[in-house]
């Protein structure tokens, strides 16, 4: 199905994207869908030809590190520069040139090298960049959250980590099957909200009379400290994961291993490149690094997959990751995570029993789109956090509410809200509120909105 693109809508920005690889292509797709005017720059003529044929964008062949090329791309009129080439140094150069020569341009650079990971805040400040993004690091953070919540398919963090939105499938013979939304307070004795339900091809934001069924995929928002109680309350108890087998020794695996080791977990990395194994052994002395082919069934058995508690397929080859995860899913109780970089057959992937699937390019795209929406329209609020769910059919957006927002001081029951929209949570200085009809939004609150509509850039967009 073709997606509607609205050009030159109010609040649209002039955006330059340098680098049209996996992340660049994803950004172009989503930013054009949101109605922004894009110019793309890449050194390869074939890449420019393909992306301008697919999307309504202007293409420039050339080196984004050249001021002449950037000026040809419209630097003087651009609002945002996004540099996502394969070179960290080139991305930083593009952004630095843009900041020096552009007219109050917001510059965003992708920087992936672990050598820079500790210096990213310093680089961002010194170069005056709006954002520095690292897909592999953000993917590792998401995987670590999934390992800590083994029953969940996805875990999305809001309110600076104080609230989490978890997605899971209702198991057969579970207590939730046949229950109405309005009857769940007898099961959950703490703050929570059922935000969405996917059943077959349909996704709905359920109301009180809605009846849950076995096999539904639902999202539940609760305080981060109460997420384990969500699963315990419905009999989906899971033991704490204390070990992880990782196949692939790339950047995402390195960042993940660091996070898990800091949580005192046992980490085993299987990587077939001997030189990379030596590097990882030096970088991660507390991890066990095994040189071998993780896509080989005998190797996985020999290294103990049958007794592992979690498994992450993080090679650079999507097909290998999928096959390894399908094999690992045969181990009872094993938490599996599959990294997908390139494959776009989302419907097919959703039908496979892969456990949790992580797309680094989408994680970064959502971060950047949240920033772009905030810059496009920030009169009454700013977009703090943005997640797309269920193949972009649902958005969960966190707004920081300014002092002039039109929703302030009005009981929620009196707000004229758009259809298929839920005010899921209010964060008031770290206090998480699951609002009732009489609650009101105050200045400096952050508000989490879940909706099947798209493109909200200001809190006022929730109003009819």
Residue 1 lies in a domain: no
Residues 128 and 58 in one domain: yes
pLDDT at 380 over 70: no
Residue 7 lies in a domain: no
Residue 239 lies in a domain: no
Domain closes at, from 133, 163, 196: 133
What value does the mean pLDDT of the chain take?
92
pLDDT at 22 over 60: yes
Number of domains in the chain: 4
- pLDDT tens string 65-81: 999 999 999 999 999 99
- pLDDT tens string 33-61: 989 999 999 999 999 999 999 999 999 99
Residue 8 lies in a domain: no
Domain closes at, from 309, 331, 358: 358
Instruction: Tell me the residue ranges of DSSP E strands in 297-358.
Output: 310-313, 335-339, 356-358
Angle between helices 360-376 and 22-33 (to 10 degrees): 40
Give long-range contacts, CB 8 A cutoff, 24+ apart: 29-32.
29/55, 30/365, 30/369, 31/369, 31/372, 32/5, 32/56, 32/57
Residues 95 and 58 in one domain: yes
pLDDT at 1 over 50: no
CATH number, domain containing residue 279: 3.40.50.720
Q: What separation in angstroms does the CA of 396 have from each of 325, 405, 407?
A: 28, 19, 18
What average pLDDT does this structure show over 411-421? 95
Residue 75 lies in a domain: yes
State the pLDDT confidence band at 437, using cuts at 50, 70 and 90.
very high
Residue 437 lies in a domain: yes
pLDDT of residue 150: 93
The tokens of 133 are what?
């993004």
Residues 71 and 86 in one domain: yes
pTM, two decimals, is 0.89
- pLDDT tens string 116-160: 888 888 989 999 999 999 999 999 999 999 999 999 999 999 999
Identify the sign of the CA torsion 208, 210, 211, 212: negative
State the pLDDT confidence band at 10, using cuts at 50, 70 and 90.
low
Q: Are the C-beta atoms of residues 349 and 391 closer than 8 Å to each other? A: no
What average pLDDT does this structure show over 384-398? 92
pLDDT at 368 over 60: yes
pLDDT of residue 342: 84
What average pLDDT does this structure show over 296-319? 94
State the pLDDT confidence band at 4, using cuts at 50, 70 and 90.
very low
Domain closes at, from 133, 162, 177: 133
Domain with 71 in it = 14-133
* Straight-line distance from the first to the last Cα atom of the chain, in angstroms, rounded to the nearest whole number: 27
pLDDT at 306 over 80: yes
């Amino acid at each position: 199905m073709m997606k509607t693109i609205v050009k030159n809508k109010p609040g649209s920005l002039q955006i330059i994207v340098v680098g049209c690889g996996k992340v660049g292509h994803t950004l172009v797709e989503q930013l054009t869908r949101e109605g922004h005017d894009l110019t793309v720059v890449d050194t390869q003529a074939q890449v420019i030809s393909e992306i301008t044929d697919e999307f309504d964008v202007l293409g420039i062949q050339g080196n984004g590190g050249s001021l002449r090329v950037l000026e040809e791309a419209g630097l003087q009129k651009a609002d945002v520069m996004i540099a996502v080439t394969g070179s960290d140094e080139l991305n930083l150069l593009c952004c630095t040139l843009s900041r020096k020569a552009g007219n109050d341009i917001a510059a965003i650079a992708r920087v992936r090298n672990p050598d820079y990971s500790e210096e990213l805040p310093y680089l961002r400040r010194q170069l005056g960049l709006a954002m520095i993004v690292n897909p592999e690091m953000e993917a590792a953070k998401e995987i670590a959250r999934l390992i800590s919540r083994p029953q969940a398919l996805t875990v999305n963090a809001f309110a600076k980590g104080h609230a989490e939105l978890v997605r899971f499938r209702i198991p057969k013979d579970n207590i939730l099957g046949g229950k109405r939304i309005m009857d769940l307070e007898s099961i959950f004795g703490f703050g929570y909200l059922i935000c969405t339900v996917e059943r077959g091809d349909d996704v709905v934001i359920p109301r009180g009379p809605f009846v849950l069924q076995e096999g539904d995929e639902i999202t539940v928002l609760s305080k981060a400290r109460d997420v384990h109680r969500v699963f315990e309350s419905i009999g989906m108890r899971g033991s704490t994961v204390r070990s992880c087998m990782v196949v692939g020794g790339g950047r995402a695996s390195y960042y993940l291993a660091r996070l898990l080791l800091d949580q005192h977990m046992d980490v085993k990395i299987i990587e077939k490149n001997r030189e990379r194994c030596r590097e990882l052994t030096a970088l991660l002395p507390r991890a066990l690094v095994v040189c071998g082919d993780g896509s080989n069934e005998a190797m996985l058995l020999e290294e103990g997959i049958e007794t592992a508690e979690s498994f992450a397929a993080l090679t650079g080859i999507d097909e290998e990751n999928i096959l390894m995860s399908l094999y690992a899913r045969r181990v009872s109780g094993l938490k599996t995570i599959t990294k997908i970089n390139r494959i776009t057959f989302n419907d097919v992937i959703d039908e496979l029993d892969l456990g949790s699937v992580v797309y680094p390019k989408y994680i970064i795209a959502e971060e950047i789109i949240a920033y772009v929406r905030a810059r496009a329209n920030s009169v009454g609020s700013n977009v703090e956090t943005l997640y797309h769910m269920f193949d972009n059919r649902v958005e969960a957006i966190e707004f920081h509410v300014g002092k002039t927002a039109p929703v302030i001081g009005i009981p929620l029951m009196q707000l004229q809200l758009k259809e298929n929209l839920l005010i899921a949570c209010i964060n008031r200085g770290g206090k998480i509120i699951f609002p009732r009809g009489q609650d009101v939004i105050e200045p400096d609150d952050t508000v989490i909105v879940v909706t099947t509509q798209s493109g909200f850039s200001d809190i006022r967009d929730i109003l009819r």
